[in-house]
Amino acid sequence: MLVPLFSLPDPGPSLARLAPLGIEVRRARSREEGVLVDWVGKNFSQGWASECRAAMSRIPPACFVALQQGDLMGFACFEAAYRGFFGPMGVLETHRGKGLGRALLICALKAMAESGYQYAIIGEVGPVAFYEKVVSAKVIPCSSDRLGNRDRPPRP
């Protein structure tokens, strides 16, 4: 999917809805890499953990986290596999439906825009309708075998 970064919604309202729940969304800190990468591997996949590690190696880290009283609830990375790409992003199943994904998505894409990008690419898309609704993403025709799907890790 292709996302125009010059017309993103303001993250303020999404963040304000989470504040009364004690949920903070912010850029991850370098010193949190070990904990975050382990958490992503445990709750999502080792592939996503590897991509999260790559995003965390950037300065500043190219990853946002959602926390409630210090507990991780979700994350969103960018520039993890390719320059200009958004993802991976995940929210624990027990915390879905609260607006965390929306806030993480908008904050991460805003950071991409602030670093100079006009567009972002989402290579492997799960909830197409979510991205269309929240950030006006458009499906890129004939891209399913090209964007993010070509590099599968070797089997052990």
H runs (alpha helix) in 58-117 = 100-114
Q: Is the pLDDT of residue 156 over 70?
A: no
The amino acid that residue 97 corresponds to is: G
Number of H helices, E strands in the chain: 5, 6
What's the CA angle centered on 27, arms 22 and 28, to 5 degrees? Answer: 95
Closest CA to 101 of 140, 70, 131: 131
Q: Please identify, in words, the CATH class of the domain defined by 9-117.
A: alpha beta
Q: What is the pLDDT of residue 155?
A: 62
What's the CA angle centered on 35, arms 1 and 87, to 5 degrees? Answer: 5
> With bands split at pLDDT 50, 70 and 90, how would you rate the model's confidence at 151?
low
Q: Is the pLDDT of residue 5 over 80?
A: yes
pLDDT in tens, 64-123: 999 999 999 999 999 999 999 999 999 999 999 999 999 999 999 999 999 999 999 998
